[in-house]
Structure 1
Amino acid sequence: MADQAPAAQRRWRAACPNCGAPVEFASAASTTAVCGFCRSTLLRDGEALSQIGQSAEIFEDYSPLQLGATGRYMGRGFAVVGRVQRGSELGNWNEWHLLFDAGPETPRVAWLSEDNGQFVISLEAPLAEAPPEAPGVGLPITVAGQRWQVAAVVEAALRAAEGELPRPPKAGRVVELRNAQGEVGSLEYRVGQPPVWSIGRSVALADLALEGLRTTAEGESVAEAKFKGRAIACPSCGAPLEPKLAQSKSMVCAQCSAVADLPEGESKALGFTPQDRGLPPLIPLGRTGTLAVDGKPEAWTVVGYQERCDIPEDADDEQSFWREYLLYNRLAGFAFLVDTREGWSLVRTLTGAPAPARGGVSWQGRDYTQRWTYGAKTTHVLGEFYWPVRLDDRVQVTDFASRDGQYLLSREQQGPEVTWSGGGVLPAETVRKAFGLVGPAVPFERDASAFKSGNTLLRNIVIGLFLVVLLFALLRACSGDDCQPYKDSFGENSNEYRQCRANLRSGSSGYVGSGGGSYGGYSSGGGGHK
């Protein structure tokens, strides 16, 4: 039997009580709309509309989505009928209201939201009982019969709204939860009303069969077209900042190396932080390489770069340094390529959160053992970032590894948010080939797989070579620079070389060990709430 076409939604139209423009409701369940002409926030009561407020203008964020766009999810069609723009200390984000085709089940309120550089579709659901008061960030909580971890607690401001919405948009406290099933839950608290509860999962825009996206006459997206000519004056030196990504919230000026906060429109960036130029990254910004993320080879472009280090608890502790490359794919989102003393790893942020297990955590059927917990900070940045990056940003990191050392997890907490990321080690030769690197590149020879316990012969060779180098260094200690290897590899102005010299002056070893930052805090180091 052929499938029956879904029933059409009953549309209702009335005139805006403020300006007289037509306002249309596609769903009988929607109670609020924002007039597209005068920006009045309207409340529907039966067959009448009343004005209850005024919405600010939508700020230009170059999202490919727009009102009227359509797609499919879990076998059902949907249309984008509304949008709420929210913001907090963690950044700004969009929540797109989706209206699903009518079917045998009553359509639920659905949202397509931004989540740490990716996207999540959430469905609102009723709560049988009031949820408990949220404990601290990172602690467990039970809501709707499920066990969750508190990922963020923020005061979400209302920036603007447009289109058709299930209720009047308001500011309020939002508690974000995550679980071991890869789900994200959200409790939105409103004064005098019960909290709104929703549950979502990560989605890729490429899998939603989206149509009606914002495009130009030439067929390219509005974001692509506008960003070709977009330029913002650097607040430090006045040079043009030309971001390539719609999601970028911070960018480094190529002229003066200042870290600038990007505005939401075309105006001049307001805030900036000066920084030294430093040395160029091993993989140049803008370079594209093919890597398999989540098992699927795709082209990834380096759009951002940051150097980080751990924060020693004691002045005598050794300090570790590592580098993170922010990778971008137009349809897959963002990933991180991390270069540490132990080798390379490729990771992405998780939508859910691992479950506690003996000695560590469990995620997607694999157990991970806790390795280190340490503080970390950002020391140098280049390029663009989808979160508001800051020099000297400080986070608390806990690293985990699978038993064979091939799979990694990291938990980062910064202020009111916890971010989990996961992935695996990557051979240095894979990185070299993927990004077309040629010539000497000493750090690329640090392949983590070479130090697996099963490779005894190679391990012994490495230890023997280390002893030879150590003996040679002792013989030339009085006449040479014991930190010359760091100077040759990273440059005279690098953090590694300066730390080595400082250790020598204080009488400690010049070796910069792996310490607590062995895996290098390879998660996103921030990110937006949604």
Structure 2
Amino acid sequence: MATDTSPQRAYRAACPNCGAPVEFRSAASAFAVCSFCRSTVVREGDALRKLGASAELFDDHSPLQLGAAGTYQGAAFTLVGRLQYRYSEGTWNEWHALFDNGRSGWLSEDNGRYVVCFDAPLPEAVPAAASLRPGAQQVIAGQAWTVASVSVAKLIAAQGELPRPPNTERGFVVADLRSTRGEVATLDYSDATAPAWSIGRSVALSELAMTGLAEVSEKTLAARSVECPSCGAALEIKLATTQSIVCHQCHAVVDVSQGVGAELNHYEQDGVGEPQIPLGSVGTLKLGTAQPLPWQVVGYVERCEVDVGADDEQSFWREYLLYHRSEGFAFLVDADDGWSWTVPITGVPQPAGENVQHDGVLYRKLYTYTGEVTYVLGEFYWRLTRDQRTVNTDYIGTGGANAKRLNREQTGSGDTEEIVWSGGETLTADTVLKAFKLAPEHAAALQRDARPTAFSGASLLAKLFFWGFVVVVLLMLFKCSGPSGADCDALRSTYGAASTEYQNCLNSSRGGSGSRTSGGSFGGFSSGGGHK
């Protein structure tokens, strides 16, 4: 027996395959993966026996690594093991966390953030995997849950010390469920005869006071550079969680969710004007955190409402994907009713007829619509496909000048289906301008909420602005169905020469792509599943 600096006793023995030392920090753990030859070994008394071999880990440049430590609810823990899964949308990790009090848990990836969860007993039978559908209600272990996602996944690699043997032989169904109590749970059907059940809560790395995280260096980033399969330009992947990246030269969307080998799936898209907030910009904003934080723009998406009726008004909107190293991701949404921010929430709201209640706030349902991706730039932590569609429902709550908002978004089909709830608040255009230190001449291009009821009939300026807005809407309607030869002078005078509206109009007149820009909706993209 060997002792380390933690309160736990450590058992160390030679790998039966290569002779390298294999360490067990917990008496409850019986399995480990040799870090040298990747053999999976089981501890039997004072000896180790080889069970098989684990594949190489996909290098996703996660900030987490074995040996990293943190604190959760007053208890210290160390990451001692890792499971890496693959599904149709990419890969995700689950890290085995050993607590100093002897408890074993998991730190899992969730919607661009993380979840700390613990295995829990199942005193009763659980639903068959084939019967689960996103949005369905389930009672499991005496508690009410809502199914958030159902995916077919496969364990592709393992590392370190594990509480049970890794099975990389076949795929299985994994379902994430969420509750009105703010919890997230997982049903893991890797063992069809005895599904595993775990329950946890969402956290940010900053809440865990993590130490020993992997350093992100220029050398590390350069090692993940890939060549654009469309034009050959060098693409540098900067984020650990990137699943899709857009070529800066030809604007092709490249899928890197399955690794960065020679055959990279991609699709081409026509270029349009640059976003009003350039990629790489850093803005200091308070997005649900105690203090304002610096958020960097890493992605930009334009979306358009589809399947609208003959009497319905079509809407268009833009979303900026924001990143903070310890807080994760957030979205800045630019729609025709103003600016807002939103982040995925862990639980689900409580239904109240057509409305919902969340954190003591009643949210009124506004509308349900289908959105379609029309143009993207930058890096994204989900896999983007051509003309990707989502079904959204928007809700509005209280909050005065900073009205609270919720969005329900349903995506996917086949092997991966999910529902993600996001919450946030409205922002003023002036707040956005100041946060990102944009030049004063951009102020007009950022203004939204131009409606007739917002202006006095006696104001000539208000009337001009309103009719300019009408022109914008008409141009956007033509834009969604194809290029128009409309005169762009009205857009230039209303929003400015640097605005996306004006630049897109110029592009349309030249036979552009038909990208959508402004809009009447809000809400962020889903991440590709609960622990993904």
1:367-406 aligned at under 5 Å gives the runs 367-403=362-398, 406=403
d(CA) in 1 for partners of 2:281, 2:239: 15
Deviation at 1:183, TM superposition (A): 1.2
Cα displacement (A) at 1:378: 0.3
Secondary structure of the corresponding residue to residue 174 of structure 1: strand
Question: Given the alignment of the two structures, is residue 17 of structure 1 paired with residue 27 of structure 2, yes or no?
Answer: no
- Give the equivalent residue in structure 2 for 1:194: 194
Find the counterpart in structure 1 of residue 478 from structure 2. Answer: none
Question: Which residue type is aligned with residue 42 of structure 1?
Answer: V
Q: Distance in 1 between matches of 2:49 and 2:195?
A: 25
Distance 1:193 1:31 in 2: 21
1:468 and 1:371, CA in 2 relative to 1: closer, same or farther beyond 3 A? closer
Q: Corresponding residue for 1:485?
A: 490
Q: Which amino acid aligns with 1:413?
A: Q
**What is the CA–CA distance in structure 1 between the aligned matches of 2:389 and 2:465, rounded to whole Å?**
36
User: For residues 122-133 of structure 1, what are the structure 2 equivalents within 5 Å?
Assistant: 122-133=117-128
Residue 352 of structure 1: how far off its partner (Å): 1.4
Question: 1:312 Cα shift?
Answer: 2.7
Change (3 A) 1:496 1:354: farther
User: Aligned residue for 1:519?
Assistant: 521
Aligned with residue 494 of structure 1, among 504, 518, 525: 504
Alignment of 1:269-418 (within 5 A): 270-295=264-289, 296-314=291-309, 317-403=312-398, 406-415=403-412, 416-418=417-419
Contact 1:33/1:164 (8 A) holds in 2: yes
Asked if the contact 2:318/2:517 (under 8 Å) is kept, the reply is no
Q: What is the CA distance between 1:42 and its match in structure 2? A: 1.6
- Please name the residue that 1:46 is paired with: 45
Question: How far did residue 404 of structure 1 move?
Answer: 5.6
Larger mean Cα displacement after TM superposition, 74-83 or 16-25: 16-25
> Are 1:31 and 2:41 an aligned pair?
no
Secondary structure of the equivalent of 1:193? coil
Q: What letter corresponds to residue 153 of structure 1 in structure 2?
A: V
Q: Supply the AA of the counterpart residue of 2:177.
A: L
1:32-71: per-residue Cα shift (whole Å, max 9, x none)? 1111121111223333432222110112111122212222
Query: Could you tell me how far apart the structure 2 residues matched to 1:222 and 1:428 are?
Result: 33
Distance 2:245 2:78 in 1: 34
**CA distance in 2 between partners of 1:310 and 1:471 (Å):** 18
Spell out, residue by residue over 1:313-365, the C-alpha distance to the aligned partner (whole angstroms, 9 max, x if none): 33564321110000111111111000000110011111111111133111111
Alpha carbons 2:29, 2:162 under 8 Å: kept = yes
Change (3 A) 1:525 1:119: closer
* Residues 219-242 of structure 1, C-alpha deviations (whole Å, 9 max, x = no match): xx1455411564211111111001
| 1:426-479 residue CA offsets vs partner (Å, 9 max, x unmatched) | 001000111112214544111x5x8799xx776986996169838998xxxxxx
Name the amino acid aligned to 2:504. Answer: S
Range 422-431 or range 180-189, more displaced: 180-189
- Residue equivalent to 1:504: none
Secondary structure at the counterpart of residue 177 of structure 1: strand
Q: What are the within-5 Å matches in structure 2 for residues 413-424 of structure 1?
A: 413-415=410-412, 416-424=417-425
Partner residue, 1:67: 66
Q: Which amino acid aligns with 2:294?
A: A
Query: Alpha-carbon deviation of 1:108?
Result: 3.6
**Number of the residue aligned with 1:477:** none
Q: Which residue of 1 aligns with 2:431?
A: 430
**What is the CA-CA distance between 1:481 and the residue it aligns to?**
5.1
SS in 2 for 1:293: coil
Counterparts of 1:272 and 1:417, CA distance in 2: 23
Alignment check: 8 A CA contact 1:262 1:269 kept: no
Give the residue type in structure 2 aligned to 1:410. N
Q: Which runs of 5+ in 2 are unaligned?
A: 472-484
Counterpart among 107, 116, 134 of residue 112 in structure 1: 107
Which amino acid is 1:232 matched to? V
Q: Is the 8 A contact 2:257 2:383 kept in 1?
A: no
Shift of 1:10: 2.6
Counterpart residue identity of residue 36, structure 1: S
Q: Identify if the C-alpha distance between structure 1 residues 183 and 280 changes in structure 2 by more than 3 Å, giving closer, same or farther.
A: same
> Which of 161, 164, 167 does residue 167 from structure 1 map onto?
164
Asked if 1:76 is matched to 2:71, the reply is no
| Residue-by-residue CA offset, 1:68-115 (whole Å, 9 max, x unaligned) | 22221111111111000001113211100001113xxxx443000111
Long gaps (5+) in structure 1: 1-5, 215-220, 474-479, 502-511
1:147 equivalent to 2:148? Answer no
Cα separation, 2, equivalents of 1:318 and 1:472? 12
Per the alignment, residue 213 of structure 1 pairs with: 213
* Alignment root-mean-square deviation, CA: 3.1
Match of 2:253 among 241, 255, 259: 259
In the alignment, is residue 138 of structure 1 matched against residue 139 of structure 2? no
What does residue 245 of structure 1 align with?
239
Which residue identity lines up with residue 51 of structure 1 in the other structure? K
Of stretches 291-300 and 42-51 in structure 1, the one that deviates more from structure 2 is 42-51
SS at match of 1:251: strand
Q: Distance in 2 between matches of 1:445 and 1:55?
A: 55
Residue of structure 2 equivalent to 1:176: 176
Take 2:180 and 2:469, find their aligned partners in 1: how far apart are those partners?
Answer: 50
Distance 2:292 2:16 in 1: 54
Moved more, 63-72 or 154-163: 63-72
Contact between 1:70 and 1:78, CA under 8 Å: does it hold in 2? yes
| 3-state SS of paired residue (1:431) | helix
Q: Alpha carbons of 1:492 and 1:292: their partners in 2 closer, same or farther (altered >3 Å)?
A: closer
- Deviation, structure 1 residue 143: 1.4
Q: Deviations over 1:118-151 (max 9, x none)?
A: 0111111112112234532012111122211100
- Aligned counterparts of 1:299 and 1:467: Cα–Cα separation in 2: 33
TM-score (norm 2): 0.85
Match of 1:11, SS state, is: strand
Report deviation, 1:25. 1.1
Q: Relative to 1, partners in 2 of residues 1:38 and 1:458: Cα closer, same or farther, differing over 3 Å?
A: farther
Measured in 1, the distance between the counterparts of 2:275 and 2:379 equals 14
Between the two proteins, what is the percent identity of the paired residues?
A: 48
- Letter matched to residue 429 of structure 2: A
Structure 1 stretches of 4+ moved >6 Å:
450-453, 470-473
Q: Quick one: distance in 1 between partners of 2:517 and 2:111?
A: 31
Q: 1:163 to 1:400 in 2, by over 3 A?
A: same
> Aligned pair in 2 of structure 1 residues 482, 237: CA closer, same or farther (>3 Å)?
closer
Query: d(CA) in 2 for partners of 1:434 and 1:380?
Result: 25
1:431-510 superposed matches below 5 A: 431-438=432-439, 439-446=441-448, 448=449, 465=463, 469=467, 484-486=489-491, 489=495, 490=500, 494=504
| Distance in 2, Cα, partners of 1:71 & 1:191 | 30
> Structure 2 CA distance, aligned partners of 1:462 and 1:339?
26
User: 2:467 is aligned with what amino acid?
Assistant: V
